[in-house]
Structure 1
Amino acid sequence: MTRRRVKPEELELWQTVARSIERRAGRELDLSPRSTPRKPQPEPGETPVAPLPRFTIGEKHPSRNESHLPPMSVSDRLAQAPVHMDSKAFGRMKRGKLVPEARIDLHGMTLDQAHPELVRFIMTSQARGLRLVLVITGKGQRHDPYDPMPLRRGVLKQQVPQWLKMAPLGTMVLQVSEAHLRHGGGGAYYVYLRKRR
């Protein structure tokens, strides 16, 4: 963009308009042409804005906080959850040594179809006196890093642990853990049920 010179009659018109406006209290109007802009002074009662820090090209930005970390995955949350069952049995279950007594495959169902099936399965399993059951959700579609729109992938994988914590299932479930590879790995959950009273 090229700068053009201001004609004398345009400058005179500008100065006439500038003189006609109301001035704010405590501020003076600079009508001289090509004056360097002044730094704005904060109004009384306003907090001054801190200037941007200086940096050099290639310099690493200092990290102020860790709030930019992505949210934890379901697998991470389950791995960090406290163990409510016998620790030896939990270790055997995580290594795939305990064999599930029943299984349900929710793979390919919608949320509306899967929720009542899961509730029925867990209630029936506890009524039969079963302790360890396997819930297969599937891993969900692979994440495409070039996808222009973020999609919810693996909705059942995300939702099933939440359902198992909520009523009516929360009182029946003692522990939820990601299954061992021989029982489905990341696409399935071990659900350890409480004893029937």
Structure 2
Amino acid sequence: MRRRRSLSPEEADLWRSVARTARPLHSPPIHLPEPAPAPEPPPLAHARPRLSPFLLGEKHRKPEKHDLAPGLSDLVAQVPLRMDAGTHARMTRGKLQPEARIDLHGMTLAEAHPELIRFILNAQSSGLRLVLVITGKGKRREDTGPIPQRVGALRHQVPHWLHLSPLGPAVLQVTEAHLKHGGGGAYYVYLRKR
């Protein structure tokens, strides 16, 4: 004799949906197990209402600006301090005078990279500690596309070059220059001793 197996909850749901569309022909009803109640989804901790609550007569609040990429000065400032804190403080306040400077204004990336390598390595071999690299702030162009364009290719690329080989081992710290030495368009580069 065959053993009868019971229907799974999915099979019972499927049978109920079929049975609703069929017309019975004097047969006794089939007793199916009741479906288990569906578990409630857990409340989302990060879900917020789409509109913030407001009061009548309240002024409109501007939505927060979402900047997906941090600014260049923020990225440079996030690098851990690897030099003397007192010297770093004097340098960022513009109290230290750079011993040499290079101006990369108007150069293309292909022209500026070898010039920067030559300048930094020569400055380190000469025993200099603080040099100034002037990149300029870049020209603002009309932005017509859906993807925003960076302003100042050199300004963004120079900090990366200074951390990569062959300049990485020579550079101890890179910091945005003080206003009297160029501000956001220049960098202080503190070199390691040979």
Shorter chain as denominator, the TM-score bin is: 0.5 to 0.7
**Sequence identity, in percent?**
59
Structure 2: stretches of 5+ with no match in the other structure: 1-13, 22-40, 54-65
AA aligned opposite 1:133: V
Alignment partner, residue 106 of structure 1: 104
| Shift in Å, 1:140 | 1.1
**1:148 is aligned to 2:140:** no
Letter in 2 for 1:98: L
Task: Out of 79-88 and 174-183, give the one that drifted further.
Answer: 79-88
| Distance in structure 2 (CA, Å) of the matches to 1:54 and 1:128 | 59
Whole-angstrom distance in 2 between the partners of 1:74 and 1:185: 12
Paired residues for 1:46-195 under 5 Å: 59-60=51-52, 69-142=67-140, 147-149=143-145, 150-195=148-193
CA distance in 1, matches of 2:132, 2:95: 13
SS at match of 2:77: helix
Amino acid in the other structure paired with 1:60: S
Distance in 1 of aligned mates of 2:71 and 2:106: 21
Counterpart secondary structure, 2:102: strand
Q: Within 1, Cα distance between the matches of 2:80 and 2:127?
A: 24
RMSD: 3.2
Separation in structure 1 between the aligned mates of residue 188 and residue 112 of structure 2, nearest angstrom = 17
Question: Following TM superposition, by how much is the alpha carbon of 1:142 offset from its aligned partner in structure 2, in angstroms?
Answer: 3.4
- In 1, Cα distance between the equivalents of 2:48 and 2:71? 37
Q: What displacement does 1:92 show?
A: 0.6
* Distance apart, 1:82 and its partner CA: 1.5
For structure 1, list consecutive stretches of 5 or more residues without a partner in the other structure. 1-24, 31-48, 62-67
- Give distance in 2, aligned partners of 1:54 and 1:195: 54
Q: Give the direction of change, closer, same or farther, for the CA distance of 1:127–1:142 in structure 2 (3 Å limit).
A: same
Residue 6 of structure 2: aligned partner: none
In 2 relative to 1, CA 93–60 (structure 1 residues): closer, same or farther, beyond 3 Å?
same
SS at match of 2:105: coil
TM-score normalised by length of structure 1: 0.65
The 1-side partners of 2:88 and 2:111 are apart by 30
Q: TM-score, normalised by structure 2?
A: 0.66
